[in-house]
Amino acid sequence: MIESRLAGGRNARLAPKSIVAAILLCFTVWPAHAAGAAEAPAIAGVPVDFILFGLTLLGVALFHHHTLRVALTGLAIITLYKLGFTGFKSGAGIPGLLAHLGQEWVILTNLLCSSPRRTRAARAASWATPPPR
């Protein structure tokens, strides 16, 4: 069981089977895409990659003590989905992924380099504040 602490002291429990079932549900639209559908696969009109991103955000919110692990897992799942089923804006497969990373490398570098600095600055600021009276 995967546990997360919610507001009010309650524990949320998600069974690994339910997580796998949710991921498999996202892949049930694959046969329509493989048959040559012009659009990206969607569930109720919502593209599957948006649903996967929403599930990643929900996971970050529920498991906020494991934010990096949840976010990287979501990134891996979405990347595998795009590699296997829909492709990227710049192309399909590994060449499309590399072309996409080539276009977005500046943004990714800024995000990855600025995050640790913000964390250190926030910790330093919290230590500098005097305790409440």
- Predicted confidence (pLDDT) at residue 106 exceeds the cutoff of 60: yes
Has residue 120 been placed in a domain? yes
Structure tokens at 49: 């990659």
Amino acid at site 93: G
For residue 32, what pLDDT band results from cuts at 50, 70 and 90?
Answer: very low
DSSP notation for 44-93: TTEEHHHHHHHHHHHHHHHTGGGHHHHHHHHHHHHHHHIIIII-BTTBSH
Has residue 83 been placed in a domain? yes
Has residue 97 been placed in a domain? yes
Q: With contact defined as beta carbons under 8 Å apart, do 74 and 61 qualify? A: no
Could you give the number of structural domains in the chain? 1
Has residue 133 been placed in a domain? no
Residue of 61, 68, 91, 94 lying closest to 79 (CA atoms): 94
Structure tokens at 63: 């498991």
Q: Give how far the C-alpha of residue 99 lies from the chain's centroid of Cα atoms, to the nearest Å.
A: 20
Has residue 21 been placed in a domain? yes
Has residue 75 been placed in a domain? yes
Percent of the chain with pLDDT over 70: 56
What mean pLDDT, rounded, does the chain reach?
Answer: 74
Residue found by looking up tokens 């997360």 in the block:
4
Has residue 87 been placed in a domain? yes
Task: Give residue-wise pLDDT tens across range 109-118.
Answer: 887 777 666 6
Q: How many residues does the chain have?
A: 133
Supply the range of the domain harboring residue 7: 2-128
Count of alpha carbons within 13 Å of 62, Cβ hemisphere only?
15
